[in-house]
Amino acid sequence: MLKYLSKVWFILKGSRKKLPLLLFTFILSSLLEALGIGLIGPFLNLASHPDSLSRISILTWLYKQFHFHSSNQFVAALGFLIAIIFCIKSCLYFLAQTYIYNFSFIHKGKLISRLLNTYLSITYSFYLHKNTATLIKNVLYETMMITNGCLLPLLNTVANLVVLIVLLLLLAKTDMMFLILILAIILPTFIFFYKLKNKFKTWGKISSDAQQEMVRIINHGLGSLKETRVIGCEGYFQKQMEEQVKRYEQAATKFHSFNILPRITIETLLIVFTLLFISVSQLIFASNIQNITSVMAVFAVASIRLIPVVSQSVQAMGQLQNSSHAVDVIYLDLKEIEKQDFISQIVISQPHKSQTMAFKNQIELQHVSYCYPGASEAALNNICLTIKKGQSIALIGKSGAGKTTLVDVLLGLLNPQGGDIKVDNISIYKDIRSWQNIIGYIPQSIFLIDDTIERNIAFGVPDRQINLEKLNTAIKSAQLEELVEQLPKGIKTAVGERGVRLSGGQRQRIGIARALYHEREILVLDEATSALDNETEKLVTQAINSLAGKKTLIVIAHRLSTVENCDCIYLLEKGRVVKSGSFQEIL
């Protein structure tokens, strides 16, 4: 349990300072509640026997101190006092519960932001063994589990334990027999449900895994809707979803069913005991029944309060175990960032605000080597090449030759295990963000958000900061003017999810315009025209060729016609540059 709490403590980073105030509110509320319940017995005893006032020293002192004229006045005042204490206690309890919810849900928001920041800023190699569905599930589902299944139960358990301890002490002072009987009911219930902790943990993991699979199935089914509809495999995804829904509902049903047993068990036992005790008392203590009235009143009120306290505490044990998988997942992902040698500064410094690296002469790759985690052979082996400013180079080779890996290293996404990349004799790793601020990436499949052309080109820039002059220049350079003029809403036209309302060539040219808007001096085109038909490829190639000399171009291509106009071509095989030269020399 200590290990579990240490993980929760780590996750609570940034919110721990609020806990002392919360604990103080719990203690004060519990003490007032115990005081109110403790006064009920003497109050009932006084109400039925006003002459007994003289036998209770503290009450006698209060009677004289406040100059009451009769015991009836004193009893009435005591009743009002107890009522006020309970009202204050209820207000404090309400405030404490409100504070718990506020604390938990504020922390949930912080945790979501912290997780997203971690996922956006962690090294690219982290994603080589992570599925997007896992990350989405962590941000949305696991944070909810930590809030509803960990923080809320944990904080409520602390509050309930304070109440429980105070009430047990009160019962011990009132009558030790009642305390023993209460413990005889409560302790076996705690022990029984403690034995089920592994079951709760297993059900939590099954629920989490099922949620992840449901996100993955939705991504696959809806993300490839055209193929799904044409092939007619809707039933395949539907069946997969039904299997995961069944797994989730079974685990959730078992957890919630077993989790309500404590309340049912404790309520039944306490009520049965109270009724039996009163019945037996009528038979055995008939002549002296009034003497135990005040004791029974305290016990009855304490029992009414103990039932929810104990049942909620036992339920919380189950919820904490059920959410332990979520705690482990979030804890490990947040810890992952501490193990990384290099953290991208994408979130910390916005690209349009941070500094850019000076680039006047050339880029040098000096003996660059890279090996993927767990791979037996290096993907890049001792790569050396020089790119002059304004030059256009091409990287060609068979699949698996290392072209994409080399581009990922150039983009600063992967850290080479050997060698260095220098711009005008300055290593890019001294300030990787300033390097990334001068390099633009245009992949084979451009990612477009479900928004306007304007926002897709000025990707990541708030509306109020979009520079229309730069936007129009980028549109013109990417040969998008004709398209924008034809559209009724112009740059305000929505492109649909992933640019579904545009052709492949139009999407690629928006990608080029995006890189130009952000004023990237170096453009990396990764198979940017391979998925296009010949006519569209010519249009995109024209847009690319118009940038020759103005921008430094690094082109990956399978079609030799795409790289015909490049100044230098590098042929890669098995992670090495085996040949370089002009188009004619390579051919």
Query: Does pLDDT of 216 surpass 80?
Result: yes
The per-residue pLDDT of the chain, averaged, comes to 77
Domains in the chain, number: 2
Q: Which of 549, 507, 550 is nearest to 528 (CA)?
A: 507
What pLDDT, in 10s, does the model give residues 455-501? 988 888 888 888 888 888 888 877 788 888 888 888 898 888 777 88
Which of 81-90, 221-230, 366-375 bottoms out in mean pLDDT, i.e. has the lowest? 221-230
What pLDDT, in 10s, does the model give residues 150-169? 877 777 777 777 777 777 77
What mean pLDDT comes out for the span 134-151? Answer: 83
Residue 317 belongs to some domain of the structure:
yes
Residue 344 belongs to some domain of the structure:
no
The pLDDT, as a whole number, for residue 538 is: 67
The pLDDT, as a whole number, for residue 349 is: 42
What mean pLDDT comes out for the span 510-537? Answer: 75
Same domain, 383 and 512: yes
User: What confidence tier does 234 reach under pLDDT thresholds 50, 70, 90?
Assistant: confident
Alpha carbons 494 and 455: distance in angstroms, whole number = 9
The pLDDT, as a whole number, for residue 261 is: 76
Same domain, 189 and 244: yes
CB 146 within 8 Å of CB 330: yes
Same domain, 328 and 417: no
User: Would you call 332 helix, strand, or coil by DSSP?
Assistant: helix
Same domain, 401 and 494: yes
Same domain, 332 and 407: no
The pLDDT, as a whole number, for residue 139 is: 86
Same domain, 333 and 376: no
CB 354 within 8 Å of CB 345: yes
Same domain, 316 and 392: no
User: What confidence tier does 346 reach under pLDDT thresholds 50, 70, 90?
Assistant: very low
The pLDDT, as a whole number, for residue 63 is: 74
Same domain, 422 and 331: no
The pLDDT, as a whole number, for residue 352 is: 45
The pLDDT, as a whole number, for residue 369 is: 92
Residue 349 belongs to some domain of the structure:
no
**Angle at alpha carbon of residue 507, lines to 503 and 512, rounded to 5°:** 145
CB 555 within 8 Å of CB 406: no
- The contacts of residue 217 (CB under 8 Å, 6+ apart) are 237, 240, 241, 244
CB 497 within 8 Å of CB 453: no
Residue 346 belongs to some domain of the structure:
no
Same domain, 332 and 367: no
What pLDDT, in 10s, does the model give residues 399-453? 888 888 898 898 888 888 889 999 999 998 888 888 888 888 888 778 888 889 8
The pLDDT, as a whole number, for residue 291 is: 54
Alpha carbons 35 and 31: distance in angstroms, whole number = 6
Name the percent of the chain lying above pLDDT 90: 2
Distance set, CA 363 to CA 80, 252, 488, 525, 550 (Å): 85, 57, 44, 17, 16
Which of 32-46, 99-113, 482-496 bottoms out in mean pLDDT, i.e. has the lowest? 32-46
What mean pLDDT comes out for the span 385-393? Answer: 89
CB 252 within 8 Å of CB 207: yes
The pLDDT, as a whole number, for residue 298 is: 61
Strand pairing report for 392-396 and 552-556: parallel
Distance set, CA 385 to CA 269, 341, 365, 399, 572 (Å): 81, 26, 5, 20, 12
In terms of residue numbers, what domain contains 124?
2-338
What mean pLDDT comes out for the span 121-126? Answer: 77
Same domain, 303 and 246: yes
Which residues are 370's β-sheet partners? 380
Same domain, 65 and 195: yes
CB 174 within 8 Å of CB 299: yes
pTM of the complete model beyond 0.85:
no
What is the domain-level CATH number for residue 463? Answer: 3.40.50.300
The pLDDT, as a whole number, for residue 174 is: 63
Return the higher-pLDDT residue of 433 and 304.
433
Residue 357 belongs to some domain of the structure:
no
Same domain, 463 and 540: yes
Residue 443 corresponds to which tokens in the numbers above?
């992949």
Return the higher-pLDDT residue of 264 and 280.
264
What mean pLDDT comes out for the span 509-526? Answer: 83
Q: Which of 192, 205, 204 is nearest to 311 (CA)?
A: 192
**Angle at alpha carbon of residue 291, lines to 285 and 295, rounded to 5°:** 105
